[in-house]
Amino acid sequence: MEEISVLGAKGWLTADKTFPAGFAITKFPADSDGIDIQETQISNAEMGVNGDLITYRTAVAQTLTISVIPGSDEDKNLQILLDRNRAAKGRMYEQDNITLVVTLNNGDTHTFSNGIIMSGELGYSLTSQGKIRTKRYGFMFEQFV
């Protein structure tokens, strides 16, 4: 039998300028995937003019999304990270180099490095159920170990 529970899973995110000491991410919501690692296409293929299969690989970034409970310390820190890395007219932005270490309760650890924050929700959205919508933050990383 395989145990696939993620109870106790946690992340540790560092951003070299905004959060050099880092912060824990443990406040994962019940209505969204806490850490959603998107599928990564590692190779491509095409047919030559005479019908030969040609394959090749290209380096690709790893994308993932972190969902947290609205208003949690994690949400507040991710809001700060998103805002400080957001370009806007008349303001400088941080250009943080982000590292995320994800640890599962079975001891498996995944490290994502040389990353940037790509997206997030500035402020709160309201749902038709009468609650604040779960916050999602998108990241892209150069390395995954």
For 75, phi then psi, to 5°, come to -60, -45
Span 17-43, average pLDDT: 95
- pLDDT tens profile 44-93: 999 999 999 999 999 999 999 999 999 999 999 999 999 999 999 999 99
| Number of alpha helices (DSSP H) and beta strands (DSSP E) in the chain | 1, 9
For residue 59, the model assigns a pLDDT of 92
Half-sphere exposure of 127 (CA within 13 A, CB side): 9
Average predicted confidence (pLDDT) for the chain? 94
For residue 5, the model assigns a pLDDT of 84
pTM of the model: 0.89
Tell me which DSSP letter residue 92 carries.
-
Give me the amino acid identity at 81.
L
Q: How many CB atoms lie within 10 A of CB 118?
A: 15
* Gyration radius (Cα) of the chain, Å: 18
Which domains, ranges and CATH numbers included, belong to the chain? 10-144 (2.40.30)
Using pLDDT thresholds of 50, 70 and 90, give the confidence band for residue 96: very high
